[in-house]
């Protein structure tokens, strides 16, 4: 597409309000070839030649060479750089040399496994004439086919969930496969962070342990988007050393990357036009010009909203050329949408980050990102979904009116010049390690030698499980308690909670619509909520907490809903403490009580609040990690003399700091919580707390503790650069604030943050 012509068209639109605040021209790049240390098997080389794969990129050749030397490899290069060949070539080469070898491929989604199976079959073709098979093994595999996969497949493509709940607990049925397992491929490794990544780290340790019992010691081949700590992350996931390959040698067609800031519609409040409406406008304009486009939204709800807006604006027949795509849909529906995108039957889609991963949906020309995705790595992954033919592509980042998005709009050089974030996991987390040790004991009794997989965290955890009566020691081994059958089935590795709620459609005889994780239920399917499914609105009539069921019915309400919540926090233990410029900063364990007490109704398109209702839901309590810090006495005095609102300043600084922390940690704002108080009951001081939003913590608060001065500086800059007079959603207001963003004092927050940085002027 002619990217410059399209930008000129937008700027000449009579409704254009200077939304393009920055355009980054990313130049094309020629291929950088690499060479293998020794030739491939002639049959494989012949197949590559027939597919016109005559040149390997530098990172591909380096990865293959390293794998063939027997080392574990982490390939961390951008989207569309050909990482798949980094593992498919050495795996096929090995199997041609040794037909008894086996390989296990792990992908974060079933869709990606199915897509990679197609690619693997295409690469192998009929030329590689060996008695081996490759097959997917996941929740969609028919029961009658599973035995055949276990017995005959040489390459099994699955996901961590099935490895956790289906393969490892039944390893005796996989004994031949596990005994001959040569390679474990882990693709999209950057996805394995936070709670999910922490669970996967335990699953991979259980896999290594079971393989060892069968006499195998597989090599690991990891592939990831670019992150700041690829080697460390792979090592944390497996407990093994890795060679990192991160020099991208793939050709690149170039990209025009535009930052699009919705126009201000209220100068005093610095209120901007809805990012959802702006993304809809860009998406529909691109579709009208037959530009194949993928629009990303942060949540299921926004995905559905933008799809509905776009479908209505496009009308017939173009409105039928787009579809929404997200997790929660039935597998058959997702596969159908993927096929329609790949074939070109659809011109575009609105998706959550479920399509951020490398599913082949054909060549796209443009991507529209509705809001900053939460990390620089994810932003580049989403942007990289367009331009896969090697041609120039176009990406828009449409800013939400929140501190982080507006920080990038005001400081684009920070985005384009900043290093990628660290992927954080905490597999030693009590809430994660304990259930996996039970799973491991079910698979094979534990003994002290298993500390080579679970390190120093194992024995203290086992002692606690013994005390709870869930493990029993017999001789030198620990056995799982008889009453705990099939523990893996009780562990949801994608969530801090283990249960799900069913959403039932009352208008269709209480038919199952979809499922939702327990820890999201109070926010998304509370009584009175508007829930969206495949572009249709549903009103939540009832939430049965005991039965884990939400009953919904179709709705034509002209609004959507957003919850309000309140949080209380108690300090249980201080782990670390430091002092900067006379200010004390602490890291420790806290007890968080969270209560969803009501919700707001917001009009579509304008986000105008048209009503509020109270809820009576039980509080949720969990133990996690937090950082907290004091406030400088000089700043407090200045606020008092200026007759400003000290509590409002604390509250505003807390909101802004939570919003800015994802600049430094690979997380989403919703992964973090906060509390501010003029006098906390446990410390007796004015305090700001920032905590991990997951039981046990996943390392976000710890990262914030380490970079606290950078966090203060970026937070101050975000507030000072905002043009509003008294505070707005772009600087100090929070969409999740249970106190309706009261009190807030922008001037007091600036004084507090300057004081923390030692600037008392």
Instruction: List CB contacts of 559: < 8 A, sequence separation 6 or more.
Output: 530, 601, 602, 603, 604, 610, 611
| Residue 249 pLDDT grade (very low, low, confident, very high; cuts 50, 70, 90) | very high
156 lies in the same domain as 233: yes
Instruction: List CB contacts of 491: < 8 A, sequence separation 6 or more.
Output: 164, 165, 199, 435, 436, 439, 498
Report pLDDT for 118: 86
Q: Is the peptide bond before 743 cis (omega within 30 degrees of 0)?
A: yes
Between residues 451 and 359, which one has the greater pLDDT? 451
Report pLDDT for 389: 58
Report pLDDT for 203: 98
89 lies in the same domain as 109: yes
Q: Six-digit token pair at 721?
A: 């650069």
pLDDT at 761 over 70: no
- pLDDT tens-digit readout, 682-712: 999 999 999 998 888 888 999 999 999 999 9
Average per-residue pLDDT in the chain?
90
| Residue 129 pLDDT grade (very low, low, confident, very high; cuts 50, 70, 90) | low
404 lies in the same domain as 446: no
DSSP state of 455: G
Report pLDDT for 358: 61
Q: Is residue 104 part of a domain?
A: yes
Backbone CA torsion sign across 396, 399, 403, 407:
positive
The CATH number of the domain holding residue 449 is 1.10.10
Q: Is residue 13 part of a domain?
A: yes
- Report the number of distinct structural domains present in the chain: 5
| Residue 436 pLDDT grade (very low, low, confident, very high; cuts 50, 70, 90) | very high
322 lies in the same domain as 345: yes
Q: Six-digit token pair at 671?
A: 């992964």
Bridge partners for 573 per DSSP? 589
89 lies in the same domain as 213: yes
Report pLDDT for 333: 79
pLDDT at 224 over 80: yes
The residue-averaged pLDDT of 300-319 equals 91
pLDDT at 302 over 90: no
Calculate Rg over the CA atoms of the chain.
26
pLDDT at 388 over 80: no
Q: Is residue 338 part of a domain?
A: yes
pLDDT at 359 over 80: no
| Residue 499 pLDDT grade (very low, low, confident, very high; cuts 50, 70, 90) | confident
Bridge partners for 380 per DSSP? none
Report pLDDT for 297: 92
The residue-averaged pLDDT of 566-578 equals 94
Cβ distance 270 to 257 under 8 Å? no
603 lies in the same domain as 662: yes
| Residue 276 pLDDT grade (very low, low, confident, very high; cuts 50, 70, 90) | very high
Phi, psi of 352 (to 5 degrees): -80, -170
| Residue 502 pLDDT grade (very low, low, confident, very high; cuts 50, 70, 90) | very high
Between residues 555 and 337, which one has the greater pLDDT? 555
- Of 225-229, 269-273, 366-370, 749-753, give the lowest mean pLDDT range: 269-273
| Residue 759 pLDDT grade (very low, low, confident, very high; cuts 50, 70, 90) | confident
Answer with the one of 469, 490, 511 that is the final residue of a domain: 490
82 lies in the same domain as 167: yes
pLDDT at 232 over 90: yes
Q: Is residue 454 part of a domain?
A: yes
Bridge partners for 20 per DSSP? 260
The residue-averaged pLDDT of 132-146 equals 87
240 lies in the same domain as 256: no
Centre a 10 Å sphere on the Cβ of residue 30 and count the other Cβ atoms it contains: 8
Between residues 328 and 515, which one has the greater pLDDT? 515
- Which residue matches tokens 């058959």? 332
Helix, strand or coil for residue 180?
Answer: coil
Between residues 266 and 526, which one has the greater pLDDT? 526
Report pLDDT for 360: 61
Report pLDDT for 738: 66
As to burial, measured by CB atoms within 10 angstroms (0-12 exposed, 13-18 middle, 19+ buried), residue 231 is: middle
718 lies in the same domain as 651: yes
Backbone CA torsion sign across 59, 60, 61, 66:
positive
Q: Is residue 425 part of a domain?
A: no
CA 397 remoteness from chain centre: 18
The residue-averaged pLDDT of 264-282 equals 88
| Residue 612 pLDDT grade (very low, low, confident, very high; cuts 50, 70, 90) | very high
Phi, psi of 503 (to 5 degrees): -105, 115
Answer with the one of 468, 490, 512 that is the final residue of a domain: 490
Q: Is residue 423 part of a domain?
A: no
Residue from 313, 318, 317 nearest 291 by CA: 318
- pLDDT tens-digit readout, 163-186: 999 999 999 999 999 999 999 999
Instruction: List CB contacts of 433: < 8 A, sequence separation 6 or more.
Output: 202, 427, 454, 457, 458, 461
Q: Is residue 180 part of a domain?
A: yes
Read off the pTM: 0.81
- Please tell me the total number of residues recorded for the chain in this structure: 761
What's the domain range around 311?
3-27+252-417
- pLDDT tens-digit readout, 653-684: 999 999 999 888 777 777 899 999 999 999 99
The CATH number of the domain holding residue 331 is 3.40.50.300
- Of 20-29, 322-331, 434-443, give the lowest mean pLDDT range: 322-331
- Of 78-87, 463-472, 637-646, 660-669, give the lowest mean pLDDT range: 660-669
| Residue 357 pLDDT grade (very low, low, confident, very high; cuts 50, 70, 90) | low
Residue from 737, 520, 742 nearest 620 by CA: 520
pLDDT at 130 over 60: no
pLDDT at 79 over 90: no
712 lies in the same domain as 606: yes
CA diameter of the chain: 84
468 lies in the same domain as 607: no
CA 373 remoteness from chain centre: 9
- Which residue matches tokens 């959603």? 729
Rounded-to-integer distance, Cα 112 and Cα 106, Å: 10
- pLDDT tens-digit readout, 405-435: 998 999 898 888 866 778 888 899 888 999 9
Cβ distance 392 to 256 under 8 Å? yes
- pLDDT tens-digit readout, 21-64: 999 999 998 999 999 999 999 999 999 999 999 999 999 999 99
189 lies in the same domain as 295: no
Rounded-to-integer distance, Cα 183 and Cα 95, Å: 11
DSSP state of 29: B
The residue-averaged pLDDT of 288-304 equals 90
Rounded-to-integer distance, Cα 403 and Cα 400, Å: 9
Q: Is residue 35 part of a domain?
A: no
pLDDT at 616 over 80: yes
Rounded-to-integer distance, Cα 230 and Cα 74, Å: 7
């Amino acid at each position: 597409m002619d990217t410059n012509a399209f930008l000129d068209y937008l700027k000449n639109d009579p409704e254009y309000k200077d939304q393009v605040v920055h355009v980054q021209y990313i130049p094309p790049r020629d291929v950088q070839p690499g060479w293998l240390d020794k030739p491939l098997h002639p049959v494989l080389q012949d197949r590559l030649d027939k597919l016109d794969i005559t040149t390997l990129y530098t990172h591909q050749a380096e990865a293959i060479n390293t794998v063939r030397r027997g080392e574990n490899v982490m390939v961390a290069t951008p989207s569309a750089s050909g990482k798949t060949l980094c593992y498919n070539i050495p795996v096929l080469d090995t199997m041609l040399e040794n037909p008894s070898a086996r390989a296990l491929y792990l992908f974060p989604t079933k869709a990606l496994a199915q897509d990679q199976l197609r690619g693997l079959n295409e690469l192998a073709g009929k030329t590689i004439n060996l008695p081996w098979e490759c097959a997917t093994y996941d929740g969609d595999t028919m029961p009658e086919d599973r035995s055949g996969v276990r017995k005959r497949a040489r390459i099994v493509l699955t996901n961590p969930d099935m490895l956790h709940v289906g393969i490892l607990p039944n390893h005796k049925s996989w004994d031949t496969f596990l005994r001959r397992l040569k390679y474990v491929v882990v693709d999209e490794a950057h996805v394995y962070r936070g709670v999910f990544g922490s669970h996967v780290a335990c699953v991979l340790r259980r896999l290594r342990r079971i393989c060892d019992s069968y006499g195998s010691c597989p090599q690991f081949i990891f592939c990831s988007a670019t992150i700041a700590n690829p080697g460390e992350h792979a090592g944390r996931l497996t407990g093994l050393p890795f060679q990192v390959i991160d020099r991208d040698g793939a050709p690149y067609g170039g990209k025009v990357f535009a930052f699009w800031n919705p126009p201000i519609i209220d100068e005093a409040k610095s209120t901007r036009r809805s990012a959802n409406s702006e993304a809809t406008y860009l998406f529909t304009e691109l579709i009208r010009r037959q530009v194949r486009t993928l629009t990303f939204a942060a949540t299921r709800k926004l995905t559905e909203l933008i799809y509905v807006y776009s479908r209505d604006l496009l009308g017939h027949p173009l409105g039928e050329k787009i579809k929404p795509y997200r997790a929660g849909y039935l597998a058959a529906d997702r596969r159908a949408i993927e096929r329609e995108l790949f074939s070109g039957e659809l011109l575009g889609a609105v998706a959550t980050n479920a399509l951020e991963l490398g599913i082949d949906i054909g060549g796209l020309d443009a991507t529209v990102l509705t809001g900053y995705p939460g990390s620089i790595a994810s932003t580049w992954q989403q942007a990289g979904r367009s331009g896969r033919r090697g041609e120039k592509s176009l990406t828009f980042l449409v800013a939400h009116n929140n501190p982080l998005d507006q920080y990038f709009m005001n400081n684009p050089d920070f985005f384009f010049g900043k290093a990628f974030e660290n992927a954080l996991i905490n597999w030693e987390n009590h809430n994660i390690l304990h259930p996996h040790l039970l799973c491991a004991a079910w698979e094979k009794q534990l003994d002290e030698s298993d500390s080579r997989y679970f390190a120093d965290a194992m024995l203290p955890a086992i002692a606690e499980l013994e005390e709870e009566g869930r493990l029993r020691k017999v001789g030198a081994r620990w056995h799982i308690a008889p009453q705990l059958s099939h523990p893996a089935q009780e562990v949801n590795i994608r969530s801090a909670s283990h249960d799900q709620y069913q959403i039932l459609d009352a208008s269709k005889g209480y038919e199952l619509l979809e499922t939702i994780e327990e820890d999201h239920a109070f926010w998304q399917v509370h009584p009175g909520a508007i829930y969206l499914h495949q572009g249709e609105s549903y009103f939540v009539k009832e939430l049965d907490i005991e039965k884990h069921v939400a009953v919904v019915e179709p709705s034509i309400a002209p609004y959507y809903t957003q919850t309000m919540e309140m949080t209380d926090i108690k300090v249980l233990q201080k782990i670390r403490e430091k002092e900067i410029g006379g200010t004390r900063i602490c890291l420790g364990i806290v007890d968080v009580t969270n209560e969803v007490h009501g919700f707001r109704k917001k009009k579509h398109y304008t986000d105008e609040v048209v009503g509020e209702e109270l809820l009576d839901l039980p509080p949720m309590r969990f133990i996690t990690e937090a950082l907290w810090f004091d406030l400088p006495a000089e700043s407090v005095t200045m606020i008092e003399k200026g007759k400003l609102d000290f509590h409002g300043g604390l509250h505003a600084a807390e909101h802004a700091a939570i919003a800015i922390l994802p600049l430094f940690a690979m997380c989403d704002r919703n992964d973090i919580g906060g509390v501010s108080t003029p006098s906390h009951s446990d410390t007796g001081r004015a305090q700001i707390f920032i905590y991990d939003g997951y039981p046990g913590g996943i390392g976000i608060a710890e990262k914030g503790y380490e970079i606290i001065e950078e966090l203060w500086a970026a937070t101050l800059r975000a507030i000072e650069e905002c043009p509003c007079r008294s505070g707005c959603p772009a600087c100090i207001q929070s969409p999740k604030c249970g106190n309706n963003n009261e009190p807030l004092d922008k001037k007091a927050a600036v004084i507090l943050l300057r004081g923390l940085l030692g600037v008392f002027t």
